[in-house]
C-alpha cells in the first residue's frame, strides 16, 4: 500500500552554496573575478519556496571518536614496512619471507589478523585469489593474484561497502619484476588507509554498523586491475549477488605536492564516473537517462556527492574536490572493475601529482631524485584522507541504504512533481523518513531538501522540468543515505 504526502508552499528557504576551489582559477590572474553570469548564484533559478537548505551531515559521536584515532605515525609505519619488501611487483617472488609481493601479502594479512584478534569476533580476515594465466601483455607466466579482505560484519547483511588500496608496485618498465620498486605513494598509501580504518572501526568499544564494511588490499593493479576485477566479480557472481552499495579505492593519496611545488594539503580529489558502462546500463535505460538529463546523476556521481556532504568538516579538515570523470587521462584504477560489475564506485587521488615519484626507477638524474620513496610522502595528509574515507564509510554503513524503484510521474503535464519509491533492500525497519532533495540542473551538489515522512509517495510543488530531484532515506539518528535519481 502506498502513502501519499502533498507538500504545499512553505517559507522561502535560504540557499546553500557548496563551495570548492575551482582548479581552473589558476589559469587566471589572482586578482581576476569570475563574471557573475558564470558564478553559482546564476544557477539559482527557479526561485524556491518550499523545503529547507541541504546542510552537510556532521559526524556522530562515535564517528568523531574514530576519526580522532586515525594516526599518522601508524600510517607511516605501514608504508615504511611495505617499502622494506623492496619490490611488490605482481610478478615478483612469492616464496620469500623478506622480499617480493608474497612477503608483503603475508604481512598485510597478519596485520589485519591482529586487528581481528582484538575485535571480539567482529572482524574476519581472508586471503582470496586465483592463478592468472599469461595474457599476452603484462602477465607473462601463470601468476597468483591475491587479495587480502578484512570484513567488519554489520547487523544488516543486505549491504556492503568496500574500501581498497593496491599493494603491488612497479618501476619505469612495467615488466621489470626484479628491480626494486618501493611503491610508497603508489600505493602503500592506500593500503595504509585500509589497514588503519580496519584497526579503528573493528574495536569492540564501538557499536556494529548496520551494513558491513570490507577493508581490502588487492594485487595486480599495475598489470591490469586483476585483483580488483576478481573481487568485484566474486561479489557480483555470488548467490545471492552481494549488494555493494559503494566502493572507494585510494590510489596515490600520499602527497599534496605537485612537481612545480604547488601544495594543497587540505584537498583530496574524488573521481566519479558519469554514464555507467554500456554493459551495465542497457541502451533503452541510457536513452531515457539522456532524455531526462540524468547523465550527471548516476549512482557513482551521487555517491561522490554524498562523500562531499559527510567528508568536509572540522573532524577531517579536508575539502573533497569532486571530479566528474572516471579517472585522470591515460590512467586507470581499481574502482573501474566495480563500476563494470554494476556497483557505485569512486577513486580518491591526491590533488597534485609529481610524476618523478610515480612509476620511476629509483635514481638520481641531473641532480633530481626519482622514485616512489617514503621521503616524498606526507603522513599527516594521508591521515586526513583516511578520515574522509572513514567519515564516508561509517556514515554510509549506518544509513538505511538507498530506496529502490524510484520513479517520477510523467503521465500528465503538471507544474508539480509526484514521486514513488520502494524501501531499501534491507526493508523499512531502519528508515525514519524519506527526503526529497533537489538542485538546479547547473548546480553540482544538492542544495535543497524536504522531509516527506515515512511514505512511499510524495508530491512537491516544484516542476520536474526545471530542477534535478533525488530521493534518499534517513534513519532515526539522522544518518542519511545516497540520493537516487527518479526515472519516468
CATH number at residue 108: 3.40.630.10
Indicate the number of domains in the chain. 2
Helix (H, G, I), strand (E, B) or coil at 36: helix
Q: 262: which 3 cell numbers?
A: 604547488
Mean pLDDT of the 289-302 span = 96
Mean pLDDT of the 189-217 span = 98
Helix (H, G, I), strand (E, B) or coil at 226: helix
In a domain, residue 406? The reply is no
**Separation CA 436–CA 280 (nearest Å):** 26
**Separation CA 391–CA 307 (nearest Å):** 8
Residues 96 and 42 in one domain: no
In a domain, residue 242? The reply is yes
Residues 429 and 379 in one domain: no
Residues 333 and 431 in one domain: no
pLDDT greater at residue 17 or residue 285: 285
Which of 22-26, 80-84, 215-219, 441-445 has the lowest average pLDDT?
22-26
Range of the domain at 28: 4-56+413-474
pTM for the full predicted model: 0.92
Degrees, nearest 5: CA angle 342-343-345: 130
pLDDT at residue 25, rounded to an integer: 38
Residues 450 and 341 in one domain: no
Cβ proximity of 191 and 243 under 8 Å: no
pLDDT band with cut points at 50, 70 and 90 for residue 18: very low
Residues 70 and 52 in one domain: no
pLDDT at 17 over 50: no
Task: Report how far apart, in Å, the C-alpha atoms of 226 and of each of 100, 180, 286, 335, 358 are.
Answer: 18, 22, 28, 12, 20
Residues 186 and 232 in one domain: yes
Final residue belonging to a domain, choices 362, 397, 432? 397
- DSSP H or E segment with residue 307: helix 299-311
**Separation CA 280–CA 39 (nearest Å):** 35
Final residue belonging to a domain, choices 344, 369, 397? 397
Residues 438 and 332 in one domain: no
Question: Residue 16: which CATH number?
Answer: 2.60.40
In a domain, residue 199? The reply is yes
pLDDT band with cut points at 50, 70 and 90 for residue 142: very high
Residues 72 and 99 in one domain: yes
**Separation CA 267–CA 247 (nearest Å):** 20
Residues 76 and 204 in one domain: yes
Task: Report how far apart, in Å, the C-alpha atoms of 340 and of each of 133, 270, 418, 444 are.
Answer: 21, 18, 32, 24
pLDDT at 39 over 90: no
**Separation CA 432–CA 109 (nearest Å):** 39
Residues 115 and 41 in one domain: no
Q: 100: which 3 cell numbers?
A: 617480493
In a domain, residue 179? The reply is yes
pLDDT band with cut points at 50, 70 and 90 for residue 40: low
Residues 315 and 424 in one domain: no
In a domain, residue 402? The reply is no
In a domain, residue 351? The reply is yes
pLDDT band with cut points at 50, 70 and 90 for residue 11: very low
Task: Report how far apart, in Å, the C-alpha atoms of 156 and of each of 27, 58, 205, 212, 328 are.
Answer: 48, 23, 19, 7, 35
In a domain, residue 291? The reply is yes
Residues 272 and 190 in one domain: yes
In a domain, residue 361? The reply is yes
Final residue belonging to a domain, choices 371, 397, 423? 397
Which of 332-336, 373-377, 425-429 has the lowest average pLDDT?
425-429
Which of 89-93, 125-129, 330-334, 386-390 has the lowest average pLDDT?
330-334
Amino acid at each position: 500500500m502506498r502513502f501519499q504526502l502533498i507538500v504545499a508552499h512553505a517559507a522561502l528557504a535560504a540557499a546553500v552554496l557548496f563551495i570548492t576551489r575551482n582548479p581552473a582559477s589558476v589559469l587566471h590572474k589572482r586578482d581576476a573575478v569570475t563574471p557573475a553570469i558564470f558564478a553559482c548564484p546564476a544557477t539559482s533559478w527557479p526561485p524556491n519556496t518550499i523545503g529547507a537548505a541541504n546542510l552537510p551531515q556532521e559526524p556522530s559521536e562515535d564517528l568523531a571518536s574514530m576519526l580522532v584515532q586515525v594516526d599518522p605515525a601508524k600510517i607511516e609505519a605501514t608504508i615504511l614496512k611495505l617499502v622494506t619488501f623492496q619490490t611488490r611487483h605482481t610478478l615478483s617472488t612469492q616464496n620469500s619471507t623478506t622480499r617480493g609481493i608474497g612477503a608483503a601479502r603475508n604481512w598485510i594479512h597478519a596485520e589485519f589478523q591482529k586487528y581481528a584478534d582484538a575485535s571480539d569476533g567482529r572482524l574476519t580476515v581472508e586471503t582470496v585469489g586465483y592463478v592468472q594465466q599469461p595474457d599476452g601483455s603484462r602477465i607473462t607466466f601463470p601468476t597468483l593474484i591475491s587479495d587480502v579482505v578484512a570484513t567488519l560484519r554489520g547487523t544488516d547483511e543486505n549491504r556492503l561497502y568496500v574500501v581498497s588500496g593496491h599493494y603491488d608496485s612497479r618501476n619505469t618498465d612495467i615488466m621489470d619484476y626484479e628491480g626494486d620498486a618501493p611503491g610508497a605513494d603508489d600505493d602503500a598509501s592506500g593500503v595504509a588507509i585500509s589497514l588503519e580504518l580496519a584497526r579503528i572501526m573493528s574495536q569492540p568499544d564501538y557499536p556494529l554498523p548496520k551494513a558491513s564494511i570490507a577493508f581490502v588490499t588487492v594485487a595486480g593493479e599495475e598489470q591490469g586491475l586483476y585483483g580488483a576485477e576478481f573481487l568485484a566479480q566474486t561479489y557480483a557472481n555470488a548467490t545471492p549477488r552481494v549488494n555493494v552499495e559503494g566502493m572507494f579505492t585510494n590510489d596515490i593519496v600520499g602527497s599534496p605536492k605537485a612537481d612545480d611545488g604547488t601544495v594543497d594539503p587540505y584537498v583530496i580529489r574524488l573521481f566519479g564516473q558519469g554514464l555507467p558502462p554500456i554493459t551495465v546500463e542497457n541502451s533503452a535505460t541510457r536513452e531515457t537517462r539522456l532524455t531526462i538529463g540524468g547523465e550527471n546523476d548516476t549512482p557513482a556521481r551521487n555517491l561522490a556527492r554524498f562523500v562531499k556532504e559527510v567528508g568536509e568538516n572540522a573532524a577531517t579538515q579536508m575539502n573533497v574536490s569532486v571530479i566528474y570523470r572516471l579517472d585522470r587521462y591515460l590512467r586507470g584504477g581499481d574502482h573501474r572493475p566495480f563500476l563494470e560489475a554494476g556497483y557505485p564506485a569512486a577513486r580518491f587521488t591526491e590533488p597534485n601529482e609529481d610524476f618523478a615519484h610515480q612509476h620511476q626507477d629509483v635514481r638520481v638524474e641531473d641532480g633530481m631524485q626519482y622514485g616512489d620513496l617514503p621521503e616524498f610522502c606526507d603522513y599527516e595528509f594521508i591521515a586526513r584522507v583516511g578520515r574522509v574515507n572513514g567519515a564516508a564509510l561509517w556514515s554510509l554503513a549506518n544509513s538505511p541504504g538507498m530506496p529502490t524503484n524510484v520513479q517520477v510521474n510523467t503521465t500528465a503535464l503538471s507544474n508539480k512533481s509526484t514521486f514513488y519509491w520502494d524501501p531499501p533492500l534491507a526493508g523499512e525497519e531502519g528508515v525514519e523518513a524519506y527526503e526529497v532533495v533537489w538542485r538546479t540542473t547547473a548546480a553540482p551538489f544538492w542544495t535543497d531538501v524536504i522531509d516527506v515522512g515515512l511514505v512511499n509517495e510524495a508530491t512537491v510543488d516544484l516542476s520536474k522540468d526545471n530542477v534535478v530531484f533525488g530521493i534518499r532515506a534517513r534513519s532515526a539518528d539522522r544518518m542519511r543515505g545516497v540520493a537516487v535519481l527518479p526515472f519516468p
